[in-house]
Structure 1
Amino acid sequence: MNKDEQLHRLLRERFGYQHFRDGQQETIESLLAGHDTLTVLPTGAGKSLLYQLPAYLLPHGVVIVSPLISLMQDQVDRLRQRGEKRVVMLSSQLQGPARDQVLNSLGSFRFIFASPEILATSAILAALRRIQPSMLVVDEAHCVSQWGPDFRPEYLLLKRARQALGSPRLLMLTATATPRVRRDILNKLGLDRDRVHQVIRSVNRPNIFLAVDRVADQAAKNDRLCQLVTSLPAPGIIYFASRKLASQMADWLAEQTGLAVAPYHAGMAAVDRFKIQQQFMNNRLQLVCATSAFGMGVDKNDIRYVIHYHLPANLESYMQEIGRAGRDGQQSVAVLLYAPGDEGLASQLTTINLPSVDLLTQVQHHQLRPSVLGDDQELFTFYLDHGYQPARIVTAFRKRQRQLAISLQRVVDYTGLATCRRRFLLDYFGEEAADFPPPCCDVDQPQWAGELTMKSAPHLVVCQQGDWHLRLRQLFNQGNNQ
């Protein structure tokens, strides 16, 4: 049996698929040949198979670095449902004798899930080093670039962690990464670009209709949101930049629309988040009002719309989040709501109060307590504790702030386009864009949603509500019949 036959047999017998999707076999063959591999495939393209299948052909376990406990738990549950028992999740919830037992038996596991923070723990790293893992997987690898500098700095330690594990072959997976982000991922992981095999496919999801709804103010935005969720077919997700507002709007929408709505954000108890996720997966909820904490672990094929109430920080995050819609290939909609001044909140959320070199130096020399660094003290003490000099920290964060401002401006540019939104996005990700057949975006179908904000003539809303539903049905029927 040759290699190709072996892979297809394993694909059928272990995973129940008859054919590989685009990019899957190339990635798997690269890994089995021992190459470090960076793979960028669109959401819903089956990225988990890329490390799960090789794991059955490699001599030792596979370590998967994942950004969220919910995402890890989802993968663990799916593997166990498929009959795989040799799977474990290393997290802060694993304590005492149970943790010792797991660490002493790591060699018996085929799949080992861990967060970047857990891999920064010396005891965990030592236990993993003893089993000599065959592969290290960085899932959602764009987090290395987007989160590493100023949110989850432990991502910057993955280079050292890999070296400590004996430099096993490395798989980096993501759905969205511009050429700059791809270079940044490789640089931060200490890789030579010429020695990394890259499997890059288009981020385009042609079944997702792209729209921006520009409204006059916050009150108009709330009206439009209510109209959207009562007109678009469920289920759907609304993304907010604020935990508090996500909860408030969930209550308000439930009261206004009668829909089954719930909030989801990192400030909620883990058991509540798990409950909401399961209710959404089982169609007991029609709508989730969420922060960016929701989505990575939600493999639901029939999400029909994604609405952004606030501006995302960058187009990479936007493509990640709207890509959770329409994984079944059916017509779906992505709507970005924009009111003048929205960029102010987005800028505020990504701004870091950068201390001076002198203040950092005094903290470094224990002349001042870290608390003088304010809310971001843990972030800056992380860099100081890992040998970064104060001047270097300040220079790096100033550069980072400039990058964040440029990224946000590209989102603002997207909201004001008079030309094809899809072409703009693909150009941003370094792809050549052709002409796209309708339904593509609101630029080629400007009447897709009707006009429903006629407060001066409220009696007309009822008439136009019918137009609204008709146009949406036409949009979905047109897209699904192609």
Structure 2
Amino acid sequence: MKSDLLNQVLHAKFGFDHFRPGQKETLQAVMDKQPTLAVLPTGSGKSLLFQLPAYLLPGLILVVSPLISLMQDQVDRLRAQGHFKVAMLNSSLSYADRQALLSNIGHFRFLFTSPESLANPAVQGLLKRLSISMFVVDEAHCVSQWGPDFRPEYLLLKQTIKRLQPERLLMLTATATPTVCQDIVAKLGLEPSTVKVVKRSVDRQNIFLAVQTLADEDKKKARLLALLQALKTSGVVYFSSRKLADELAAWVRAHSQLKVSSYHAGQTRRERFIIQQQFMQGQLDVIFATSAFGMGIDKGNLRFVIHYHLPASLESYWQEIGRAGRDGQPAIAILLYCPGDESLPEMLMTPQLPTSDAVLNWQRHRNQSAILGPQGEVVAFYLQHGWSLSQIQKLFDQQLQRGQARLRKMLGYVHSSTCRRNYVLNYFGQAATEPLHSCCDVDQPDWTIEKLKLPTEKPAAEVAHDDWQERLRTLMGLSS
């Protein structure tokens, strides 16, 4: 693919004069039909890597995406451009809407789908009749980290790619260690020597890194309120508990003038949409969120990310703090830690497998995965694919060991006595940086929020009621 042509499309269709680091190299490899894994930092413009080729290629661009919120954001952006027909296939669709989409699947240029929807044989049968110019695995680290013990349909992508025979294959992620990169390639059934790997530093130098250790939960709660009142800007606070996100959002509203709302998967789709739009429009100051909020959220003036609970891995932590400072201006990531906080992620990652009697009961009542306990759907997947309970136990034990190793690395970050930024870069197999003017609390122990001089944002205008209604109708599939 000629470099000049890519530059012409970039300028004519996207209004940019230059590619960001890693974009052009990735596009050239993909357009030349080389399987490509791009590891580019959050905010580096990964969506352009499958949007730009649509102006140069015929056929369908199929994007496998992990979250409905991420798909919806990408679909909305493409529809706003108005150049291509775009569709989304996932569990949010009604039966009628799903059937209508499938009956017209050949008319779309972009199809965003989940690995679970793509695993459906009927869907694959329809796609096999089409010319798929590009198969995109977005957030490709999910293949390695989520596939084995959380969403095993990711492991079926290998078979799907072989069956559909797409002309081009692109894998995108912001956070993958060298080991995870190797695992992605292996789990997708690719020969490593044939895969082009494009890597750029995961570093986001405009984000100041800090950890604050508190004696107990009450002091942590008080420190959170003090930080929010001092920051006075737009940000996100991450929790591992939906209940605590709700409770502390209400508590902060009662003890401050801040406009705060919680956001998690326990809310309805309509509620989450409204909260997200209020936040994007500046009508909310802070979101108290679980990991359900994040992928696809592109709010340029988000100035801070605070973690109230300890993340289970540096990968998830780095992914989440990458939502701050996407406009390139100074931002801050603060992790609040109490001794013993690691017990929660340890508990969440420990599998609860069914007994042999439960498996026998499940075999008598197929499709009732609840019989198999908290991990029922995942266990049922493996049982249906011929695995024994002992084989599943061995797999889960291996995943638990990997999870515990990642958690130890996360704790190493918390307790680091050397530069936190270089600790993270070393974890991702990347070179250390030169000392920055505004790096982390280890390098600059006398830091304060005032010294960081974070930009203050102007409040956004209220969104008209009619506009809200139209956006909501579009999201719910009710537009005329």
Instruction: Output the TM-score relative to the length of structure 2.
Output: 0.91
Once the two structures are superposed, the pairs formed by residues 51-450 of structure 1 within 5 Å of their partners are: 51-355=50-354, 358=356, 362=360, 366=364, 371-448=370-447
SS at match of 2:33: coil
1:164 partner letter? R
SS at match of 2:236: strand
Q: Residues 348-378 of structure 1: CA distance to partner in whole angstroms, max 9, x if unpaired?
A: 111111346x558646865998655322121
* 1-structure distance, mates of 2:242, 2:74: 26
For these two proteins, the number of residue pairs brought into alignment is 454
* 2-structure distance, mates of 1:74, 1:261: 22
* 2-structure distance, mates of 1:272, 1:85: 29
SS at match of 2:180: helix
* 2-structure distance, mates of 1:434, 1:70: 34
Q: CA deviation at 1:153?
A: 1.4
Q: CA deviation at 1:165?
A: 1.1
Instruction: Output the TM-score relative to the length of structure 1.
Output: 0.91
Contact 2:303 2:454 in 1 (8 A): no
SS at match of 1:342: coil
Q: CA deviation at 1:330?
A: 0.8
* 2-structure distance, mates of 1:254, 1:146: 36
Q: Residues 44-64 of structure 1: CA distance to partner in whole angstroms, max 9, x if unpaired?
A: 100000011112212211000
* 1-structure distance, mates of 2:99, 2:218: 55
* 2-structure distance, mates of 1:27, 1:363: 50
With over 3 angstroms needed to count, the CA separation of the structure-2 counterparts of 1:366 and 1:101, relative to structure 1, is closer
Contact 1:360 1:390 in 2 (8 A): no
Contact 2:300 2:327 in 1 (8 A): yes
* 2-structure distance, mates of 1:346, 1:404: 9
1:119 partner letter? L
* 2-structure distance, mates of 1:299, 1:17: 18
Q: CA deviation at 1:438?
A: 2.5
Structure 2 unaligned runs (5+)?
Answer: 456-480
SS at match of 2:375: helix
The answer for the alignment partner of 1:452 in structure 2 is: none
Contact 1:262 1:287 in 2 (8 A): yes
Structure 1 unaligned runs (5+)?
Answer: 449-470
* 1-structure distance, mates of 2:319, 2:430: 16
Give percent identity, aligned residues only: 52
With over 3 angstroms needed to count, the CA separation of the structure-2 counterparts of 1:383 and 1:221, relative to structure 1, is same
Q: CA deviation at 1:474?
A: 1.8
* RMSD, aligned CA: 1.8
User: 2:450 aligned to 467, 473, 479, which one?
Assistant: 473
2:245 partner letter? A
Q: Residues 120-162 of structure 1: CA distance to partner in whole angstroms, max 9, x if unpaired?
A: 1122111111113111101111111111112211111111121
* 2-structure distance, mates of 1:235, 1:353: 39
Q: CA deviation at 1:9?
A: 1.2
* 2-structure distance, mates of 1:306, 1:435: 24
